[in-house]
Amino acid sequence: MTVGVEEEFLLVERHTGRPVDRGPLVVEAARAVLGEQAQSEFFGAQVEVCTRPTSCLAELRSELALLRRVMAEAAAAEGCLLVATGTPVIPPERPPTVTPGERYGRMAARWPWLVGSYDGMVCGCHVHVGVTGRGQALALANHLRPWLPILQAIAANSPFSLGHDTGWASRRSVEHARWPSVGPAPLLDETGYDRLADHLVRTGTLLDRRMIYWYARPSEHVPTLEVRICDVNADLDTVVLLTAFVRGLATALLPEIADGRPAPRLPEPRLISAHRLAAREGLEGNGLDPASGERVPATKTVERLLARAEPGLAAAGDLELAQELYDRVRRCGGGAARQRAAYLRRGRLSDVVGDLVRLTLPART
């Protein structure tokens, strides 16, 4: 099964750490090397990179490191720095600008209250797994629902937003949820998906199908299931771990789907509560099992995920790597804990940004 990753980043001014609207210039420069793998994002202070499909996690890691280096070099040429964090740590000096373009312009006009401040500037990491078609993507999305809060906790990397500690491990999750359709995917087959997607666009709830922002959704332009629950992470170990878990779960679940096993029907309020707890506490607090309603340490939920994904991880040759990477992430407490530790050293947000910048740019090997 192939995998791919999209990463969104902030651009910040070199000396102040404040977001700066130089995204289009940075992307233009990066495209000289990366082509369409370098992309603009909704706000001018954001950029995005996209890997090619691969079946090898070592290749994925190498490509992510290359994409980051090229984008960081393009940013440096424009006097700014590339930062992998879910929300801006330090507030900007002026209101944001939306990247020029017909579609972004229509979105800004339709939802002006979501684009008028930097609260809406969030950066995610989207993991794609290759599928045979939309039907398989939807079946996987249905079966993955109990496990996505755990991935959200592992990926939490946005405790600071606009100059203060928000009290959340993933403030991005809170801010992103203000957009229509952000949340757990409903249980759907292909017919139900087409009917609902057409309804959302026809009624003006969404601009187009690309605005279906469910936590797991079939891609509209490539044959993949896209898992969209994760904050972007500066630490590449975390990104590779999340990708391994998504593929491992998908690989383990596909035989059960083929055998006709139904997707678990979870109480919607409980599933939403599990996501909210994951966003608040990350890896350092408790998690909620949306199937049983049991509240347990988040690290325990990851152990359950690892056990559930073990057959798929083993089949891909990723089991030992996933265990090793999770042990590293667990020891540091995850991205949110790392950001808070950087702040506690001297009580300076600039130290948080500096630590993120250093970690975002992998060392050359």
Q: What tens digit of pLDDT does each residue of 337-357 get?
A: 999 999 999 999 999 999 999
pLDDT recorded at residue 118: 62
Cα 68–chain centre separation: 16
Give the per-residue pLDDT at 158: 98
Place of tokens 């997707």: 263
- Give the tens place of pLDDT for each residue, 39-73: 999 999 999 999 999 999 999 999 999 999 999 99
Q: Quick one: which H or E segment has residue 286?
A: strand 286-288
Q: What is the pLDDT of residue 291?
A: 87
The pLDDT score that the predictor gives to residue 221 is: 85
With beta carbons less than 8 A apart as the criterion, state whether 123 and 141 touch: no
Q: Confirm whether 210 is domain-assigned.
A: yes
Instruction: Supply the pLDDT for residue 131.
Output: 97
pLDDT at res. 5: 98
| Assigned domain for 365 exists | no
- Amino acid of residue 180: P
The pLDDT value given to residue 362 = 81
Q: What is the pLDDT of residue 117?
A: 62
- Count of domains observed in the chain: 1
Q: Can you tell me the distance from the alpha carbon of 237 to that of 342, in angstroms, rounded to the nearest whole number?
A: 19
Positions in the chain whose pLDDT score sits under 50: none
For 128, the 3-state DSSP assignment is: strand
CA distance 159 to 356: 13
Residue 277 lies in a domain: yes
Helix (H) or strand (E) segment spanning residue 236: helix 236-258
Structural domain including 175 reads: 3-360
Question: Tokens in use for 9?
Answer: 């980043």
Q: Is residue 36 part of a domain?
A: yes
β pairing state of 46-50 and 3-13? antiparallel
Which residue is it, tokens 């992510």? 64
Structure confidence at residue 364 (pLDDT): 66
CATH of the domain at 202: 3.30.590.20
Question: What is the distance between the alpha carbons of residues 353 and 198, in angstroms, rounded to a whole number?
Answer: 42
Kindly state whether residue 348 falls inside one of the protein's structural domains: yes
Nearest to 160 by CA among 334, 362, 363, 349: 349
Tokens, residue 33:
């090397």
Tell me whether residue 12 is in a domain: yes
The three-state secondary structure class of 161 is strand
User: Is the residue at 304 inside a domain?
Assistant: yes
Q: Does the residue 291 lie in any domain?
A: yes
